[in-house]
C-alpha cells in the first residue's frame, strides 16, 4: 500500500548525509521507504517546508521491535531512556553508530554542557558531523551542539550577501559561523567556553575557513572590545539570548539584521521586549518543537 507524505528531494550523492540530518532533526518519517530515482532521492518527512512536495511512498514491512528513541549526532546516538539492552540493539542496528549515550540531567551552566553515560560502543563523547558539505568535530560533554538546526543554518546562510561582516555571539564549535563564512567577508565567532573555542578552531582549520575569527569572551563585554559594527548578528543561545539583546543592538549597524533565537510557549512572546528598541522590522517563525507546549523560535530583527 502506498501512502502520500511530504517529501524532500535530494541528489543521490548527498543522500546518506541528508538522511542523517533529517533523522537528527526528528522529521524523517521512518515508517516509509525513500523513493529512488535516476540521480535523485525523495525522503519522506513529517513537516511541510520550502521546496517540499507531496509524494507517494511505500510503507516498510514490519521489522519487529523498533529501535529505541534517540537523537543522532554524527556517529553518536543519544537515547532518551537509560536502557543498556536497547542501547546494544541500537548500536547493532546501524553501522554508522559508534557510541550510544544516555544523558544525565539537562544542559546547564554558562558553558552549556551536559553529562553523559556510555551505554554501548566506544567510550567517547567525541564525534564528527557532516552537514551540507561541512565537517564539525564535536565533544558533547564539553560543548553544546544540535544537529536539528542544520536547516536553519542554511536559511540564514542564504540571506548573507557578499562582503558582510558577521558576529556569532554564542558560536560554540562553530556550525553557524562556518556555514555563513562561505558568503561573508569576516565572521567573528565568540564564546565564553574555552573548550568550545578549541573545537571551533579545529573546525575552522578543517573547513579551510580563513575568514572566521574565534574569540574567547563573555558576550556582555563584546561592545567594549570589538572595533566593528556588524551587518548581521547571530544569537543562538535560546534559553537566555534575549538578555544580550542590548549588546547585539549596539554591535549591529543601521540596516543590519539580528537573528535572535528563543524558547517560547506562545507566539510573539518576545515582541514587547524587542519593541523597546527602534527596530525597522521584525519577523518570527518556528524553527522546531522543543517540548510539549514549547518551541524553538527565531526573530529576524532589522535595525
Whether residue 173 contacts residue 196, with contact meaning beta carbons closer than 8 Å, is answered with yes
Q: Which of 110, 43, 118 is nearest to 82 (CA)?
A: 118
Helix, strand, or coil (residue 183): coil
Q: Which of 34, 22, 120, 108 is nearest to 71 (CA)?
A: 22
Instruction: Give the tens place of pLDDT for each residue, 115-158.
Output: 999 999 999 999 999 888 899 999 999 998 988 888 899 999 99
Q: Does domain 70-124 have CATH number 3.30.300.110?
A: yes
Q: Does domain 147-302 have CATH number 2.30.290.10?
A: no
pLDDT of residue 302: 98
Whether residue 155 contacts residue 181, with contact meaning beta carbons closer than 8 Å, is answered with no
pLDDT of residue 50: 63
> 40-49, 92-101, 183-192: which has the minimum mean pLDDT?
40-49
pLDDT band at 212 (very low <50, low <70, confident <90, very high): very high
Domain borders along the chain are 2-58, 70-124, 147-302
Which CATH code fits 2-58? 3.30.70.2580
> 93-102, 128-137, 254-263, 286-295: which has the minimum mean pLDDT?
286-295
pLDDT of residue 49: 65
Compute the chain's Rg from CA coordinates: 20
Q: What is the pTM of this model?
A: 0.80
pLDDT band at 93 (very low <50, low <70, confident <90, very high): confident
pLDDT of residue 108: 77
pLDDT of residue 62: 52
pLDDT of residue 48: 66
Give CA–CA dist 39/73, Å, rounded: 27
Give CA–CA dist 115/105, Å, rounded: 7
Amino acid at each position: 500500500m502506498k501512502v502520500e507524505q511530504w517529501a524532500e528531494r535530494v541528489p543521490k550523492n548527498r543522500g546518506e548525509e541528508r538522511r542523517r540530518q533529517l533523522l537528527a532533526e526528528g522529521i524523517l518519517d521512518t515508517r516509509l521507504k525513500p523513493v529512488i530515482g535516476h540521480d535523485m532521492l525523495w525522503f519522506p518527512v513529517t513537516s511541510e517546508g520550502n521546496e517540499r512536495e507531496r509524494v507517494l511512498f511505500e510503507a516498510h514491512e514490519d521489522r519487529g521491535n523498533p529501535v529505541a528513541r534517540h537523537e543522532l549526532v554524527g556517529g553518536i546516538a543519544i537515547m532518551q531512556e537509560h536502557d543498556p539492552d536497547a542501547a546494544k540493539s541500537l548500536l547493532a542496528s546501524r553501522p554508522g553508530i559508534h557510541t550510544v549515550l544516555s544523558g544525565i540531567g539537562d544542559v546547564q551552566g554558562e558553558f552549556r554542557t551536559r553529562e553523559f553515560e556510555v551505554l554501548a560502543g566506544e567510550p567517547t563523547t567525541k564525534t564528527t558531523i557532516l552537514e551540507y558539505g561541512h565537517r564539525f568535530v564535536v565533544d558533547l560533554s564539553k560543548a553544546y551542539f544540535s544537529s536539528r538546526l542544520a536547516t536553519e543554518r542554511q536559511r540564514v546562510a542564504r540571506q548573507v550577501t557578499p562582503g558582510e561582516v558577521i558576529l556569532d555571539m554564542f558560536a560554540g564549535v562553530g556550525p553557524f559561523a562556518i556555514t555563513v563564512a562561505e558568503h561573508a567577508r569576516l565572521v567573528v565567532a565568540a564564546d565564553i567556553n574555552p573548550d568550545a573555542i578549541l573545537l571551533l578552531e579545529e573546525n575552522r582549520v578543517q573547513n579551510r575557513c580563513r575568514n572566521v575569527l574565534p574569540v574567547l569572551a563573555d558576550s556582555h563585554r563584546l561592545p567594549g572590545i570589538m572595533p566593528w559594527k556588524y551587518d548581521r548578528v547571530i544569537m543562538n543561545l535560546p534559553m537566555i539570548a534575549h538578555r544580550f539583546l542590548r549588546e547585539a543592538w549596539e554591535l549591529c549597524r543601521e540596516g543590519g539584521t539580528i537573528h535572535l533565537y528563543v524558547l517560547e510557549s506562545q507566539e510573539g512572546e518576545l515582541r514587547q521586549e524587542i519593541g523597546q528598541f527602534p527596530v525597522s522590522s521584525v519577523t518570527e517563525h518556528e524553527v522546531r518543537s522543543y517540548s510539549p507546549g514549547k518551541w524553538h523560535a527565531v526573530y529576524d530583527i532589522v535595525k
